[in-house]
């Protein structure tokens, strides 16, 4: 805040308080030479106004609020750039990243309330938290499928999911148009624990180009017919046959068989699971105009432990049955070892 606004705010705030004080003093004064309780000489519809003093309890309360305001303004920031005697700060408004927030924590030594509360929460919950994701007494993460079997860890992970992910993927993780369902077997980027963790940590950006300018309305229609036929939908055979000849360009990302490619996040077009809608119109729109969905990266927002919990949670959500006690059949040994 520059000096002008700082002084302006200070002046207006203090002048208002002084105005209130002046008002009380003025109301206490007998300005008309009329004694307490006497008629003021006004009469409205038979109701007379008497010169009664303000009730004492009310006056004291009024003084109390003014005193409170002055004390508050002395101790806490509020008057322009004045920092207050406690030097209190809610948070560092310039902080955007987890690492910067941790620096503030050390640097400001508890003055910044947000940093202080984070620090206190780490002290209080850190240990329980560690037990959920690390091998006891070490800095090695537990395998994700093991974390996924711990009900306490999953309870925390569910809360993290509701806070950070549900607005896009839904509170049940089943997604919505443009935001993938995380509970099924149709993965854009792979459903192994490590791929899921990678997605969450670094984010993803799908890029499906649009083809309207290259192939025109007709070409798009044919391609949509062929695409829909891949998942066994009834289509115009003639259109589909024409679409098939054009599908070579699509094969670069979706594969010759249309089964997709996790390296590009190109979806499987044969499973009748549709990220952007499976109606003929929606598929034609996708092919004509393209789609660019963005999954944000979380590594600068959530710490690694939270990402570990969320990865386990999402992986578990996609498992059809309860995971067997020691080893899930769907995770191969080398994957486990790398986690
Ligand atoms: C702003 C919306 C948004 C938020 C918030 C969000 N996501 Fe996503 N997420 C997406 C989109 C969009 C995609 C699909 C990206 C694409 O199509 O390339 C995606 C993809 C994913 C995938 C990959 C799915 C696949 O099929 O491979 C996973 C896993 C995932 N998100 C987990 C999470 C988790 C966990 C969180 C919370 C920490 C989260 N997302 C928060 C929008 C979001
Ligand atoms: C450069 C790679 C690339 C090429 C080439 C490509 N696609 Fe895609 N396609 C993608 C990606 C990536 C997505 C997912 C987009 C997203 O998540 O934002 C996608 C999504 C789609 C979808 C939506 C699927 C769903 O579940 O809603 C359809 C349909 C599709 N592509 C059809 C085609 C057709 C037909 C062609 C050829 C004309 C084609 N694509 C060419 C990468 C490609």
At 290-334, the pLDDT tens digits run 999 999 999 988 888 999 999 999 999 998 765 555 544 444 433
Q: Which atom of ligand 1 is nearest to the CA of 207?
A: 18
Ligand nearest, relative to CA of residue 208: 2
Mutate to test the pocket of ligand 1, among 295, 302, 314, 319 (most ligand atoms within 8 A of CB): 295
Q: Which atom of ligand 2 is nearest to the CA of 223?
A: 35
For residue 322, give Cα distances in angstroms to 52, 193, 329: 78, 16, 11
pLDDT (tens digit per residue) in 91-121: 777 777 777 777 766 665 556 787 778 778 8
Residue among 278, 312, 328, 319 nearest 185 (CA)? 319
Higher pLDDT, 113 or 145: 145
Tell me, in angstroms, the distance from the centre of ligand 1 to residue 205's CA.
10
pLDDT score of 217 more than 70 = yes
pLDDT (tens digit per residue) in 35-62: 878 888 888 999 998 888 888 899 999 9
Higher pLDDT, 72 or 337: 72
If phi over 0 gives left and psi between -120 and 50 gives alpha, with beta otherwise, what is residue 55? beta
Ligand nearest, relative to CA of residue 312: 1
For residue 333, give Cα distances in angstroms to 70, 135, 329, 339: 67, 18, 9, 10
Q: Tokens standing for 88? A: 């209190």
Q: Average pLDDT of 127-154?
A: 90
Residue among 157, 191, 201 nearest 295 (CA)? 201
Ligand nearest, relative to CA of residue 292: 2
pLDDT score of 78 more than 90 = no
For residue 324, give Cα distances in angstroms to 30, 38, 42, 143, 329: 87, 90, 89, 14, 8
What pLDDT, on the 0 to 100 scale, is given for residue 308?
95
Is the CB–ligand 2 distance for residue 309 below 6 Å? no
Residue among 107, 110, 139, 137 nearest 123 (CA)? 110
Q: Tokens standing for 268? A: 């499987």
Tell me, in angstroms, the distance from the centre of ligand 1 to residue 148's CA.
19
**Residue 238 contacts residue 199 (beta carbons within 8 Å):** no
Ligand nearest, relative to CA of residue 278: 2
Tell me, in angstroms, the distance from the centre of ligand 1 to residue 165's CA.
8
Angle at 218 between CA 213 and CA 222, to 5 degrees: 110
Q: Average pLDDT of 176-190?
A: 94
Q: Which atom of ligand 2 is nearest to the CA of 252?
A: 5
Tell me, in angstroms, the distance from the centre of ligand 2 to residue 267's CA.
7
Is the CB–ligand 1 distance for residue 160 below 6 Å? no
Q: Which of 64-73, 79-88, 168-177, 229-238 has the lowest mean pLDDT?
A: 79-88
């Amino acid at each position: 805040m520059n000096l002008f606004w700082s002084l302006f705010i200070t002046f207006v705030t203090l002048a208002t308080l002084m105005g209130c004080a002046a008002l009380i003093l003025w109301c206490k004064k007998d300005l008309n030479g009329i004694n307490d309780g006497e008629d003021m000489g006004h009469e409205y519809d038979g109701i007379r106004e008497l010169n009664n003093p303000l009730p004492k309890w009310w006056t004291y309360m009024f003084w109390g609020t003014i005193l409170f305001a002055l004390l508050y303004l002395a101790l806490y920031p509020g008057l322009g750039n004045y920092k207050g005697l406690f030097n209190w700060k809610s948070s560092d408004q310039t902080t955007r990243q987890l690492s910067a927030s941790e620096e503030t924590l050390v640097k400001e030594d508890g003055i910044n309330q947000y940093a202080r509360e984070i620090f206190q929460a780490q002290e209080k919950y850190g240990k329980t938290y560690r037990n959920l994701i690390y091998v006891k007494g070490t800095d090695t993460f537990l395998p994700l499928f093991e974390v996924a079997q711990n009900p306490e860890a999953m309870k925390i992970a569910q809360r993290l999911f509701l806070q950070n992910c549900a607005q896009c993927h839904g509170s049940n993780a089943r997604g919505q148009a443009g935001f993938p369902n995380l509970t099924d077997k149709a993965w854009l980027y792979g459903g192994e624990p490590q791929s899921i963790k990678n997605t969450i940590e670094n984010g993803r950006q799908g890029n499906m180009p649009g083809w309207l300018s290259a192939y025109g309305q007709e070409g798009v229609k044919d391609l949509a017919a062929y695409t829909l036929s891949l998942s066994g939908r009834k289509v115009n055979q003639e259109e589909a046959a024409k679409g098939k000849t054009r599908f070579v360009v699509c094969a670069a990302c979706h594969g010759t068989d249309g089964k997709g490619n996790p390296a590009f996040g190109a979806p499987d077009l044969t499973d009748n699971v549709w990220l952007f809608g499976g109606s003929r119109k929606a598929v034609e729109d996708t092919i004509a105009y393209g789609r660019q969905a963005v999954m944000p990266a979380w590594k600068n927002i959530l710490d690694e432990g939270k990402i570990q919990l969320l990865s386990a949670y999402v992986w578990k959500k996609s498992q059809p049955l309860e995971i067997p006690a020691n080893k899930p059949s769907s995770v191969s040994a080398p994957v486990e070892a790398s986690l």
